[in-house]
Amino acid sequence: MRTPPHMLTLVALSGVSALSMNVFLPSLPGMARDFGVEYGVMQLSVSAYIGASAVLQLLGGPLSDRFGRRPVVIWGLVGFLLATIGTLLATTATTFLIFRLLQSVITVCMLVPRAVVRDLYDGDRAASMLGYVTMGMAVVPMMAPVFGGVLDELFGWQANFVVMGLLGIAVLALAFRDMGETVRGGGMPLRAQMANYPILARSHRFWGYCAAATLSSGAFFAYLGGAPFVGDQVFGLTPAQVGYWFAAPSIGYILGNYLSARFSPVLGLNRMILMGAVVCAAALSVSLILDLAGIVRPLFFFGAIALMGLGNGMVLPNANAGMMSVRPELAGTASGLGGALAVAGGAALSALAGALLQPGSGATPLLAIMCASALGSLVAIGWVLRRERQLARQG
């Protein structure tokens, strides 16, 4: 019998999943030139990947509730490694994009650690532990674009996918050794899960937390889809410089995760989500106003992004813990469904950002999308608070 996984194992699983999403982002303009396609086509390696991740989260969550967390993680990592080899052998943009979509199977390594934490902890304590997990995993995506930009300039874009493969092998070995099972009683049969779905579907709390997380993270996903273009076309940055600036949201996210881990047990889930949503919306609104006023500077743009990361670091651990608290025995399903909605919305916003950003458009379309998404998250948590006050008065 294996013991529950160490926290560092959960961080490593989440980190390799996050790294696969953004390590190569500074290379996107160069990859488009290399494959002889428009930037919007190559940007599908981000938006379509996110969309595929949404579908896989819908499947991965229930499967982890039924068959256990360990087998889902192990097979997800094996599939990721095979797809990574395919991206390195691709000679056309179409072939590359197919294998890039297959790489999205690694998304199970993002949803399962959340479910494992919920298996082991309850309520505000789960939010606190999720804060520590995501604070640790934020270090990887913070450094990945910097590292990826340098690798691109030294060895070409393929080097980023070699690194993905090597790290995937290392994490697979770690998970095989340390990933103990946390699902009790052999898991819940899929038929029993389906019988409990209506409880999630009727829960205002579940949908409110989902909306808050989806719209808050949607601002970040839009940033992923549009920031390489803004860095290249608006600010004239090199791939390495874009990578350096890409650290901005992760620095903020680490701080936000720390605040969640430290204060969620004291202030509660809802207050932390509300404060994070206010930070996101305020920072992006100010950045949009500056942009419309013609004050266009990398420091102002990426400074607002850092504050957006801070807000997300407060919103997401608490919103995820809130989603999974509705039906603890369906933690994997709730994590998968909530994650699927978040990444599906992110895929749409990422694709929209890629479509609206054209030569001469500046950063305005991207900032407008991000600002609207952040304001939507603020409305969502406000709705949850309003419903809970109504229920408290009725009780």
Residue 160 covered by a domain:
yes
- 317 within a domain of the structure (yes/no): yes
Residue 1 confidence (pLDDT): 44
Q: CA–CA separation, 282 vs 285, rounded Å? A: 5
For residues 96 and 87, what is the distance between their CA atoms, to the nearest angstrom? 5
| In-domain check, residue 1 | no
Q: How far apart are CA 338 and CA 326, in angstroms?
A: 12
- Calpha distance 270→277 (Å, rounded): 11
Which residue spans within the chain are E strands per DSSP? none
The domain that contains 374 carries what CATH number?
A: 1.20.1250.20
Length of the chain: 395
Identity of residue 85: I
CB-neighbour burial class of residue 36 (10 A; exposed 0-12, middle 13-18, buried 19+): exposed
Amino acid at 97: L
Q: How far is CA 192 from CA 62, 92, 219, 315, in A?
A: 11, 45, 35, 31
Residue 244 lies in a domain: yes
Domain membership flag for residue 203 = yes
Q: What is the pLDDT of residue 276?
A: 94
Nearest to 232 by CA among 219, 218, 250, 245: 245
Q: Which long-range contacts (CB under 8 A, 24 or more apart) does 187-191 make?
A: 187/65, 187/66, 187/67, 187/68, 188/65, 188/66, 188/329, 188/330, 189/66, 190/62, 190/66
Radius of gyration (C-alpha) of the chain in whole angstroms: 20
Number of other CB atoms surrounding residue 338 within 10 Å: 28
- Which of 28, 36, 53 minimizes the C-alpha distance to 93? 36
CA distances for 59 relative to 3, 79, 341, 344, 350, angstroms: 26, 15, 13, 14, 22
What does the pLDDT read at residue 377? 93
Taking the C-alpha atoms of residue 303 and residue 318, their distance in angstroms, rounded to an integer, is: 24
Confirm whether 158 is domain-assigned. Answer: yes
- Position 2 in a domain: no
Give the Cα separation of 213 and 345 in Å (integer): 10
Residues 6+ away with beta carbon under 8 Å from 199: 326, 327
Question: Within 10 Å of residue 155's Cβ, how many Cβ atoms?
Answer: 11
Locate 41 and state its tokens. 């086509």
| Domain span at 289 | 7-180+190-394
pLDDT tens, N- to C-terminus, the chain (395 residues)? 457 788 888 888 988 888 887 788 778 888 888 888 887 788 788 778 877 887 887 777 778 877 888 899 999 999 999 999 999 998 888 899 999 999 999 988 888 887 888 778 776 677 777 777 776 666 676 677 778 888 888 888 889 999 999 999 999 999 998 888 877 665 666 666 666 667 777 778 888 988 998 898 888 888 877 877 787 777 887 777 777 777 778 788 888 888 888 888 888 888 999 999 999 999 999 999 998 888 878 888 888 989 998 999 899 888 888 887 777 666 667 767 777 777 777 777 877 877 777 777 778 888 899 999 999 999 999 998 888 888 777 76
Give the pLDDT of residue 82: 96
Distance separating alpha carbons of residues 234 and 98, to the nearest angstrom: 30
* 185 is a domain residue: no
Give the pLDDT of residue 105. Answer: 92
As for how many domains the chain has, the answer is 1
Please state, in angstroms and rounded to a whole number, the distance separating the CA atoms of residues 18 and 254.
Answer: 14
Residue 163 phi, psi dihedral angles, 5° rounding:
-60, -40
